[in-house]
Amino acid sequence: MQPPEKYPFIFSDEPRYRIRRHLAFWVFWWLFQAVLYSVIGFSGKHGYPLQLLDSTFESLAYMIAHISLSYTLMYFVIPRYLLKQKYLLTAFWVAVCFLGAAALSTLISITIIPEIQNWILNHNFDNYLRLRASMGIHKSLMAGLRGGITIGGIAASIKLMKHWYVKEQRNLQLQKENAEAQLQLLKAQVHPHFLFNTLNNIYSHTQNTAPVASQLVMGLSDMLRFMLYECNQPQVPLSKELKMIRDYISLEQIRYDDQLDVHIDLPANTDTLAIAPLLLLPLVENCFKHGTSHMIEQPWLSLQVSIENNRMYVKLMNGKSNNVNRNNYKGIGISNVKKRLELLYPAKHELTITDAEDVFVVDLCIVLESLPLTKKENAPFTLAYHE
């Protein structure tokens, strides 16, 4: 179970939980400050209830600086610089934020605090209060810096602890998913050597009598070998993944006896990029299973993959019959792809699925990792009857 599901008040990003969580935090901080400084600043001159009321309103005024500092750290400095390991810029912006919060607190102590004291404690020497605050700018700056460091440190610590906890839980979930996937894979590996030897025997017997069938057997053998032996790794070269996709589409074309209109546009130089294995196959398989197989006339499929820097853009489209239930496209394959993308590429992917009346469109963008390779991958096989 993911942290947002187990502890929604703490981890959920839903607006209702976030608003309650933030309100609870700031109300607690406000009341804590009010009680603390009412005790520290109590002199017995005005009575504690009046001093507590004054401290409550003063703490509320200083919340302007505290809230500004905390949210700047949590939603600007930490995600943009600290989590991206830009430590010099992080230190610079932290210093700027703390000094800015101290300056804002000093400005509040000069302008707003005298008005509050004049209103609640009946100080009728408003100009004197302002002058006293102005003369003690250094002390006000130090006090503002102290309060900023305290609340900023607490807010940043909560943000980082939440980030690291969620990341750790995600890693544990990913390990569990990988373990389950490997278990399923092991269950499917029933005597793989026997399977490949049998396929090779069929291939050798059909080479002369049925060349198309032999090519099909060889293509199927390559795909099974990739699934059984190479997909145990967390990542595979993108070139191998795209080769398997092309081989799969080539095998499916046989079923349509060249009546399937296929347009495939794949990049050439993909040896230095890595991708999670079998990530794209369910999307392509879904096109045949729920789309083109239900079309009586003019079935078609289009696959375009492009690379820009380390970003892979995939646009997959297929025609479909109006009689196909749209819920068919929301089966296990699509849901598994979404789940794997969330686990393997958090904040590094964008998936958009458009289920129109006569066309199904998948737009996918993934930020891939570099994988230096020295061995060139083999070119995809070509079926004999296409030559």
3-state secondary structure of 147: helix
Q: In what order do the strands lie in the sheet with 261-265?
A: 261-265, 300-308, 311-319, 359-367, 349-355
SS3 content of the chain, % helix, strand, coil (to 5): 65, 10, 25
CATH 3.30.565.10 in the chain is located at 231-386
SS (H, E, C) 298-346: CCEEEEEEEEECCEEEEEEEEECCCCCCHHHHHCHHHHHHHHHHHHHCC
**Integer Cα distance of 28 and 33 in angstroms:** 9
What does 204-231 look like in DSSP terms, one character per residue? HHHTTT-HHHHHHHHHHHHHHHIIIIIT
Tens-digit pLDDT string for the chain (387 aa): 455 556 777 777 788 888 999 999 999 999 998 998 888 766 666 678 888 888 899 899 999 999 999 999 999 999 999 988 899 999 999 999 999 999 998 888 888 887 887 788 775 555 555 555 555 677 778 888 888 899 999 999 999 998 888 888 888 877 777 777 766 655 555 455 556 666 666 666 676 667 667 667 777 777 777 776 677 778 888 988 898 888 888 877 776 766 778 899 999 888 889 998 888 888 888 887 766 655 556 788 899 999 998 899 999 998 877 665 555 545 567 888 888 888 889 889 999 998 887 888 999 999 998 875 444 444 444 443 333
Whether the model clears a pTM of 0.95, i.e. scores above it, the answer is no
Instruction: Choose the CATH number for 231-386 among 3.40.1360.10, 3.40.50.2300, 3.30.565.10, 3.40.710.10.
Output: 3.30.565.10
Backbone angles phi, psi at 369, to 5 degrees: -95, 155
